[in-house]
A and B are shown apart, each in its own frame.
Chain A
């Protein structure tokens, strides 16, 4: 049964992909899989990530403009409310014009999870999982896992605090070990299973898992109490819903390696 669904997925992926393949294909790099301990992992703590390819840059305003031109149902006047709240592309001048406030090569923001997911699918890609994203993002320039370095956290926190970074062009932060830019310091990024973060009110009523990101209780079950940057990312994921959009929230896509070959 599982393989059947995989087949469907492959079919879907192939169906969409070749169309815009050219440009984006060049912009992915391989991230070699492995196991790691994310901030909020599983009961056994370690998470295994398989090889995948990731976009070098976040999706830009220009990329997204091309996408809505090709798939009009994602234009701001056309998108249905189930898939996004009113703030979708709110600052764009109209359906197909960015307006003067936007650099074409800045990351696109104010997009919902549904629209980001569809964008990736139509490129033959998908959104990264939280674990994949965290795995790729723990690298600095030199190390695949830089979380042990004392400066690493501080550097990221400093970026997170800097205001209005969503206005910056892609590539304005550093190139990491895998060859990926802007995982930190530009915008937050949607993940496929962002809603696997359990931190709202209901979870504390769950008799089994009293995990809650508020106050001290966020420390319960977290693997690394000093990883403030990760706390902030998980808190953000926990605060959003799939139809939300945010001025600081963009995305990039990934691709399974096996599908490719």
Chain B
């Protein structure tokens, strides 16, 4: 990664040297228009343009070399019922019909004419506080708008960076908790450096009357919100907005830029992409660039721009590394990278052994029977269930969840699972060998990866027995012998 970068930097430098006379020529021609403005407030605007707004995870076209303009932003506020996760509905309040709200892309010096429209069916007045605005309330006082009304105000963007906007009407916490936030990007003169892919991700925490996963239309829970006890912590407004078919994508060799924001209302984000290192982070969305970052902190009401080149194919999981949020509350996304393997960068597993501090070197795994004898065997179904549950909680729980419900769009359910109940041997095989690619469980297609599980025959027998005898499954009992026969079948 590093080497590549250096190479490309050198190339760029050489190109620059070669082109210098040409550039000089151009700058002569352009001289009248191209001034260096000490004060960005002095940048003149030419022409009018209606801003392109996009719903996440997409972002509008980069500003490139365009001049500062009068930019018209038409933003509609909608209060509407949407899906939080499978079977759980929630009344979201949105800027532009999505959580987070529409992405606004400007360049320094733009004069933004903002039209905030509050749909007549909406129940509440709203406003907008854009952190990119220099002025009282960030526009909040000028944009306070009753249902069925439109408010208009203008501002000039003076400071480049990535900024959060949000509703600031009392009770402000509730407006934000219901999804009223988004990002506005102010690009510097000439635009941000070009990259291959750009995406928009914003984290938010949600508070519902029912517990996490409780079905039905869930109202906002004020008490939990005040206690900062979130039921959902998600990217882009719902569980699974960036997984499965919704995953963001890139090709090997491409540079990806993520515009990451955090609407809160309460929880800061430890933003991390598993298996990637951010080559470059614009810390807090500002000018300060940090390089080679594993996890970057995104404050509530703050943002960051992260960039990295993807060098190997695979699925890279995007998480809030406050990890219970990722596995239990939904803060999980996926970046799917396609392309050629590069074994130099990542080999895949090359060798597997046991580690014994007393003995030297790597040894072969002892025969399975040996392991079997090493632990006490479960005799009764009750014992099998007990042991099986222990294994489940250690090995399976993180993905398939405590009640076997799985995680929407990422990990299939084990409860009442048609796929599981249809074929015991297949289930054993999957634990033994892992499983990659599409499976259809209870009518839903999942496409992710389960690695092979390093468990003994008895452990596998117990855990499967536990699974089959829980959550309305078919109550099969799996024996170590069954596992052994599948193991030897391969």
Tell me the B137-159 residues at the A interface (CB within 8 Å): 137, 140-142, 144-149
In the complex, the chain A residue whose C-beta lies closest to that of B125 is: A239
Bound Cα distance from A236 to B148, whole angstroms? 12
Contact B170 A150 (CB under 8 A): no
A76 within 8 Å of B (CB atoms): no
Residue B171, interface by CB 8 Å: yes
Query: B79–A215 contact, CB under 8 A?
Result: no
Q: Which residues of B contact A87 (CB under 8 A)?
A: 120, 148
Contacts of B80 in A (CB 8 A): 163
Q: Using an 8 Å CB-CB cutoff, how does the interface string of A225-261 with B read, 1 for contact, 0 for none?
A: 0101001101110111100111111000000000000
**Which residues in A have their C-beta under 8 angstroms from that of B195?**
none
Given A244-B148, A246-B146: A235 and B222 within 8 A (CB)? no
Residues of A with C-beta under 8 A to B226: 226
Q: Assess whether B65 is interfacial by the CB under 8 Å rule.
A: no
Residues of A within 8 Å of B123, CB to CB, are 160-161, 163, 188, 248
In the complex, identify which listed stretch (A6-14, A113-121, A151-159) lies at the interface while the others stay far away: A151-159
Contact present for A228 and B209 (CB under 8 Å): no
A162 at the interface (CB under 8 A from B): yes
Contact B146 A161 (CB under 8 A): no
A91–B219 CA distance with the chains assembled, in angstroms: 29
Contact B141 A157 (CB under 8 A): no
Minimum CB–CB distance from A187 to chain B (whole Å) comes to 9
**Chain A residues closer than 8 Å to B147, beta-carbon distance:** 246-249
Known contacts A188-B123, A231-B170, A248-B147, A163 near B209 by CB under 8 Å:
no
Give Cα A226–Cα B136 distance, bound, in whole angstroms.
26
B137 to A215, Cβ gap below 8 A?
Answer: yes
B300 interface residue (CB < 8 Å to A)? no
Say yes or no: A239 contacts B170, CB within 8 Å: no
- Which residues of the partner chain B approach A153 to less than 8 Å between Cβ atoms? 222
Interface residue total, chain B, C-beta cutoff 8 A:
37
A201→B143 CA distance, assembly (Å)? 10
Q: Are A163 and B79 in contact (CB under 8 A)?
A: yes
- Which of B122, B140, B146, B178 interacts with A215 by CB under 8 Å? B140
Compute how far the CA of A232 lies from the CA of B170 in the bound complex, rounded to whole angstroms: 6
Task: Decide yes or no whether B220 CB sits under 8 A from chain A.
Answer: yes
A201 to B171, CA, bound (A): 17
Q: Give how many A-B residue pairs fall within 8 Å (CB-CB).
A: 114
A237 shortest CB reach to chain B, Å? 9
> With a CB–CB cut-off of 8 A, which chain A residues contact B127?
214
Most chain A CB inside 10 Å of its own CB: which residue of B147, B148, B170: B170
The interface residues of chain B lying within 8 Å CB-to-CB of A245 are 148
CB distance from B443 to the nearest CB of A (A): 29
* Closest Cβ neighbor of B217 among chain A residues: A162
Q: How far is the CA of A247 from the CA of B123 in the complex (A)?
A: 8
Q: Is A77 close to B, CB under 8 A?
A: no
A216 vs B137: C-alpha distance in the bound complex, in angstroms? Answer: 11
Give bound CA distance, A30 to B183, whole Å.
51
Inter-chain contacts of A241 with B (CB < 8 A): 146
- The yes or no answer to A200 lying at the interface (CB within 8 A) is yes
Q: Are B121 and A247 in contact (CB under 8 A)?
A: yes
Residues of B156-209 at the interface with A, using a CB-CB cut-off of 8 Å, are 168-172, 174, 178, 209
Query: Which residues from 151 to 202 on chain A have a C-beta closer than 8 Å to any C-beta of chain B?
Result: 153-154, 157-158, 160-164, 188, 199-201
Instruction: Given contacts A154-B223, A157-B174, list 12 more A-B pairs with CB under 8 A.
Output: A87-B120, A157-B222, A158-B209, A160-B124, A161-B178, A163-B121, A199-B170, A226-B222, A235-B171, A239-B144, A244-B146, A244-B148
30 A–B pairs (Cβ distance < 8 Å), ordered by A: A87-B148, A154-B209, A154-B223, A157-B219, A157-B220, A158-B209, A160-B123, A200-B141, A212-B141, A213-B169, A214-B137, A214-B169, A215-B137, A215-B170, A228-B174, A228-B222, A232-B124, A234-B170, A235-B169, A236-B125, A238-B144, A239-B125, A239-B145, A239-B149, A240-B125, A244-B146, A246-B120, A246-B147, A248-B122, A249-B147
Interface residues of A (CB under 8 A from B): 87, 150, 153-154, 157-158, 160-164, 188, 199-201, 204, 212-216, 218, 226, 228, 231-232, 234-236, 238-241, 244-249
